[in-house]
Structure 1
Amino acid sequence: MKFKSFTLAPLALAVALSACSEKQSSTQSAAVEQPKSAPVEVVVNQNKEFLDYIDSIAKDVLQRDPFSATSLGVTEEYVGQSFNDKISDMSQASVEHEKSENGRLQEALSMYDPANLSGTALTTYQLLKNSLELGESFKPILNGAFGAFSYFTPFPITHISGPHINLPRALQTEHPLTSEKDARDYISRLSAVKEEFTGLANVIKKDMEMGLLPPEFAVKGAIGFIEQFLSPSSEQHPLVVTFAARLKEGSDLSQEQVDELAAEVSEIVAARVYPGYEVLKDSLIDMLANASKNAGVWDLENGKELYQLALKNFGSGDKTAEEIHQLGLAEVDRIQKEMAAILKAEGYETDDVIGTYNKLSEEKRFLYDNNDEGRQKLLDDLNSQMANITDLLPNILVTLPKAGVEVRRISEFEQDGAPGGYYTPPSLDGSRPGIYWINLKDTADWPSFTLPTLTYHEASPGHHLQVTIAQEISDMPILRNLIWYSAYGEGWALYAEVLAKELGLYDSDAYGDLGRLQSELFRAARLVVDTGIHHKQWSREEAIEYMHGAVGGSLASVTREVERYSVWPGQACSYKLGQITILELREKARNQLGDKFDLRTFNDQVLIHGAISLPVLVEKIDTWLADQA
């Protein structure tokens, strides 16, 4: 899920069986959540007034962030202007606007009394209040990466994130290409790259002045990405080749018209895109001279404060970095013991669980050929797994997803720095499905028994299920589609791996279950490594050594993960912190409801409010349990 000021991810909602659902209109739910002393009419009116105000904020945001409007699939009429022909303002003035917007919105929010709100309006108020207040804390210590509502990374440019990666990705996968107008909009967007990347270079200069320097390897990686991006001739660049292929397939234009437009795109790439990337590259070369030799943010001027805020943003609650570190160590030990039990049952040596697992992962019977045929076989197997899980979803949920999901390979030009797999949501208008992306640079990274769990995490019952259910919410503000709560979203996806186990998908697949445990082990080790890097001041090499020893897998894949944690401090902790919270809430509900506990209803309750922070999720589940009593 990619971002400029926001990390995009549609929100999740499901129908509650026994309690009032936010899928009802605010008017319907007002009678349930309103204070007894407040007249119903007052609550209803304030709900509408508040949601109308939030809608106006969303339109302003989408005007400033055109790619988010494209990604969501909203209309020009809704936004109030065209957007498919524009890219975001990346200047320092835009950063300052984000900071001032944070304060302005906090002041505006204070004009509303949450006692007079209910349903979706109340939840939105709670979330925005928390998000804006956290943003206020980040304001003095961040620059280019600051967002009025959200935090993801301290650095606007790294080897794996930033506009230099996100912009060409969005153009190739999300920009519509069904007509000549779409093609002209594409060209218009490319034409703006030089100016905006020049502004971004100035932002990087300001970051350097503030001492916000990524690790040296991250700067080198970003430079390497740009050099690879600039290496093809303009005629052969993916921005041109993909454009021509998509336009030919998706429009009624003749081959001659497609060729003429592709020639224009090639000219713009040479005249505007390449020079813009060169400017950005020069700024990164300047940064490299002073880049940090350390992997963690602890050596930044406000590094300790930054990391504690990052952990809070990603679901730590009241836990300290040291407590999270120790939690991770305990979880690693527990999961390794469960893996040992499976290996023993299959006749393998268990004194060295990870060493045995590594050897198992290298057995030819579990590996795909590292060629086009092998990669296609891997993709076919993933599609088969997604089809199998679909039939079982009624066993764990009442509300089922409607939008489709496709699995696609991460493009070759970005696979070196990309994660192993990730998910991008469908557009709200239904024109683009959810996409489950997988990195196939080296098929040895994916022994066949590891793939089912990845599928259940990224597609269903993980991210795709959560996201598509959310799109059925009738009164969910568009703005909340622009704010991603990682501990909730990633926590649900990791919890989904548990649900897959409970559905019996591993009952006759011991090796698949071993892959599931290794996946959970991976997330547990992230608690150790993330806090190790940013709290205990581990070096990049120390973190790689621990991670590789604790979880196995290829050294190359572990290295990519550790380098990711270095530039996204705290985010790697969100998976396990979110999963643990959901499992604790489920156990609480099971204990309180006894024979009345229903897994399908509970899971719907976790999803019913859309993407929310963990403190708000806890509050919502507690309210539901009180209603059941």
Structure 2
Amino acid sequence: MPFFIILILIILGLCLAWLIYSLVWGTPPSINLAVERLSLKMILNDPEALTTLGVIDNTLLDFHSGQLTDVSPGAAQRKHQLDREGLALIRRYQGRDLSYQQQVTYQMMHWYFEHNLRGHRFSYHWEPNTVFMGPYPVNHVFGVQIDLINFLTTYHQIKGQRSARRYIQRLNMIPSKIAGLLESLNLRQEAGVTPPRFVIEKSLRQIENFLSTPIEENPLYTSFTEKAKASAQFPEFAIARWQDRVKDAIENEVYLPYRLLQNYLEDSLALASDEDGVWKLPNGDAYYDFLLRNHTTTEASPEEIHRLGLDEVEAIEAAIREVLEDLGLPTENPGAQLKALMADSQFHFTGENRREMIQRDYQDILDEINRKMPDVFSFGALDEIVVERLPEFREPDSPIAYGEAPAIDGSRPGRMWINLRDPNNIYQWGMRTLAYHEGIPGHVYQLA
């Protein structure tokens, strides 16, 4: 082989080695590649988030769908270390000749990692989680104990024997996950971070309902059965065998850790108080100030933010009074009048099928606005958005509705979940506002 060809191959090999080193360990040539590297490291440590994204589950690249995300103090420390590494890497691009888009990326990621690092002094107050940012990992709205069940019933797909086997592996990992959660709760308790009484009581009620439900009605069992049948990959006799394996995992691997968590919460009631503000937490004033930065990205003081809120409420009440006056309704107390309108039966659905009627009307509202999205947003319309009723086990302490992003690979549509425990909580004149907020152009569209 001619010498110059060998030389070219050596140079190409060295360039490739340099590129691999810079992408994996060093400084990538572009800040966009750096962000992708950091994002990949974050997501690879979170198997539940990987499944939620819906990109590589049930493919040859699927290494994670038999695992659960670690919520132990050790996992929190690894997140802290990644924040430190992330900020150090992003700062390497300071002063470089960046395009406008890259400058925006730099500012966003610098703020993100720097803000997370500031939050580390509140280790047991706060988690940099996009959904739950509070100090109590067990809570009745988005707590670990309820989100874990929701994750397994909603996001884990059953497409064949492999995914069924992975589902059982995840059920078998629940003792480890709850053990990590209990370790974290103990450290929080030692630091003086204890939930208010109502949070513990409502969380306990959820766990008690979960444990008292017969296995054949348990959502972990029923959702598996529904998805296995819908996959058309299992003959009837095989489904029965898999059902037995799921039932065995629930009885022997799931119930015990939930009972341990139940016992812990019952003991915690003795330490709980009825105070529910962050002022009761250690260093609570500083924590409150930190949360204001997190949610507003401003340097405004708590007093300034509060004053702004009062001014906005006053402006909104003035606008409501104008509408009430146009309708010939009393204007003295807008809040009381709105409550009266919410309770007015003429705006409620009636009949045996009223839950289905509510769900259908929400679907019509979202389908209508989705068709108009290409006229106002370059992103265009969503492929699909579906309105679904919250599972009954989630209804008692869940909000009236919330949105859920579609899977990146299109395997799962965007969804607006609605709480239909009491149909009288739905009043017709408020449906569009809620649908637009939670669905389109609100959270589902925002996260798509």
Both proteins in one fold, TM over 0.5:
yes
- Contact 1:67–1:88 (CA under 8 A) maintained in structure 2: yes
Counterpart of 2:117 (choices 110, 132, 136) is 136
> CA shift at 1:318, angstroms?
2.2
Query: What does residue 178 of structure 1 align with?
Result: 159
Query: What does residue 617 of structure 1 align with?
Result: none
Sort the Cα spacing of 1:48 and 1:417 in 2 relative to 1 into closer, same or farther, 3 A.
farther
- Contact 2:135–2:193 (CA under 8 A) maintained in structure 1: yes
- Report whether the alignment pairs 1:438 with 2:424: no
- Equivalences for 1:148-297 in 2 at 5 Å? 152-297=133-278
Q: Distance in 2 between matches of 1:276 and 1:424?
A: 28
Sort the Cα spacing of 1:361 and 1:89 in 2 relative to 1 into closer, same or farther, 3 A.
closer
Q: Distance in 2 between matches of 1:204 and 1:125?
A: 35
- Equivalences for 1:97-108 in 2 at 5 Å? 97-108=78-89
Q: Distance in 2 between matches of 1:76 and 1:114?
A: 40
Q: Distance in 2 between matches of 1:263 and 1:124?
A: 50
Q: Distance in 1 between matches of 2:355 and 2:129?
A: 41
Counterpart AA for 1:133: E
> CA shift at 1:93, angstroms?
1.6
Q: Distance in 1 between matches of 2:40 and 2:59?
A: 7
Counterpart of 1:420 (choices 387, 393, 400) is 400
- Report whether the alignment pairs 1:451 with 2:427: no
Counterpart AA for 1:83: H
Any stretches of 5+ residues in structure 2 without a counterpart? 1-26
> CA shift at 1:77, angstroms?
11
Greater Rg, structure 1 or structure 2? 2
Sort the Cα spacing of 1:151 and 1:240 in 2 relative to 1 into closer, same or farther, 3 A.
closer
Counterpart of 1:393 (choices 361, 366, 373) is 373
- Report whether the alignment pairs 1:384 with 2:364: yes
Q: Distance in 1 between matches of 2:141 and 2:237?
A: 37
Q: Distance in 2 between matches of 1:462 and 1:397?
A: 13
Q: Distance in 2 between matches of 1:149 and 1:388?
A: 29
- Contact 2:132–2:142 (CA under 8 A) maintained in structure 1: no
Counterpart AA for 2:245: E
Sort the Cα spacing of 1:236 and 1:90 in 2 relative to 1 into closer, same or farther, 3 A.
same
Sort the Cα spacing of 1:101 and 1:387 in 2 relative to 1 into closer, same or farther, 3 A.
closer
How many residues of Structure 1 are paired with residues of Structure 2 in the alignment? 422
Local SS of the residue matching 2:194:
coil
- Contact 2:387–2:418 (CA under 8 A) maintained in structure 1: yes
Query: What does residue 587 of structure 1 align with?
Result: none
Local SS of the residue matching 1:84:
coil
> CA shift at 1:267, angstroms?
0.8
Any stretches of 5+ residues in structure 1 without a counterpart? 1-45, 469-629
Query: What does residue 5 of structure 2 align with?
Result: none
Q: Distance in 1 between matches of 2:234 and 2:51?
A: 22
Q: Is 296-305 or 156-165 further displaced after alignment?
A: 156-165
Q: Distance in 2 between matches of 1:430 and 1:409?
A: 21
Q: Distance in 1 between matches of 2:257 and 2:95?
A: 47
Counterpart of 1:364 (choices 345, 361, 375) is 345
Local SS of the residue matching 2:146:
helix
Q: Distance in 1 between matches of 2:285 and 2:84?
A: 24
- Contact 1:405–1:434 (CA under 8 A) maintained in structure 2: yes
Counterpart of 1:73 (choices 54, 57, 60) is 54
Sort the Cα spacing of 1:148 and 1:233 in 2 relative to 1 into closer, same or farther, 3 A.
closer
Q: Distance in 2 between matches of 1:373 and 1:77?
A: 38
> CA shift at 1:305, angstroms?
0.5
Q: Distance in 2 between matches of 1:454 and 1:79?
A: 40
Counterpart AA for 2:337: T
Sort the Cα spacing of 1:120 and 1:156 in 2 relative to 1 into closer, same or farther, 3 A.
farther
- CA deviations 1:183-226 (Å, max 9, x no partner) are 11111101000122012101100011111112111122212211
- Bigger RCO (CA 8 Å, 6+ sep): 1
Q: Distance in 1 between matches of 2:253 and 2:341?
A: 50
Q: Distance in 2 between matches of 1:303 and 1:199?
A: 25
Counterpart AA for 1:124: T
Sort the Cα spacing of 1:176 and 1:79 in 2 relative to 1 into closer, same or farther, 3 A.
same
Local SS of the residue matching 1:408:
strand
- Contact 1:408–1:437 (CA under 8 A) maintained in structure 2: yes
Sort the Cα spacing of 1:394 and 1:76 in 2 relative to 1 into closer, same or farther, 3 A.
closer
> CA shift at 1:79, angstroms?
11
Sort the Cα spacing of 1:257 and 1:122 in 2 relative to 1 into closer, same or farther, 3 A.
farther
Counterpart AA for 1:440: L
Counterpart AA for 1:301: P
Sort the Cα spacing of 1:375 and 1:149 in 2 relative to 1 into closer, same or farther, 3 A.
closer
Q: Distance in 1 between matches of 2:369 and 2:127?
A: 39
Q: Distance in 2 between matches of 1:150 and 1:120?
A: 27
- CA deviations 1:313-370 (Å, max 9, x no partner) are 001512222222222222222222222222222222222333333222222221123x
- Report whether the alignment pairs 1:330 with 2:319: no
So what's the TM-score if we normalise by structure 2? 0.88
Q: Is 226-235 or 48-57 further displaced after alignment?
A: 48-57
Local SS of the residue matching 1:407:
strand
- Contact 2:160–2:234 (CA under 8 A) maintained in structure 1: yes
- CA deviations 1:466-489 (Å, max 9, x no partner) are 333xxxxxxxxxxxxxxxxxxxxx
Q: Is 337-346 or 378-387 further displaced after alignment?
A: 337-346
Sort the Cα spacing of 1:467 and 1:300 in 2 relative to 1 into closer, same or farther, 3 A.
closer
Query: What does residue 318 of structure 1 align with?
Result: 299
Q: Distance in 1 between matches of 2:238 and 2:113?
A: 48
Local SS of the residue matching 1:461:
coil
Counterpart AA for 2:283: N
- Contact 1:244–1:262 (CA under 8 A) maintained in structure 2: yes
- Report whether the alignment pairs 1:405 with 2:405: no
Counterpart AA for 1:343: L
> CA shift at 1:57, angstroms?
2.6
Counterpart AA for 1:461: P
Local SS of the residue matching 1:230:
helix
Local SS of the residue matching 2:64:
coil
Counterpart AA for 1:460: I
- Contact 1:135–1:149 (CA under 8 A) maintained in structure 2: no
Query: What does residue 73 of structure 2 align with?
Result: 92
Local SS of the residue matching 1:153:
coil
Counterpart AA for 1:212: V
> CA shift at 1:119, angstroms?
5.3
Local SS of the residue matching 1:392:
helix
Q: Distance in 2 between matches of 1:214 and 1:341?
A: 41
> CA shift at 1:81, angstroms?
5.7
- Contact 2:34–2:89 (CA under 8 A) maintained in structure 1: no
Local SS of the residue matching 1:176:
coil
Q: How many percent of aligned residue pairs carry the same amino acid?
A: 27
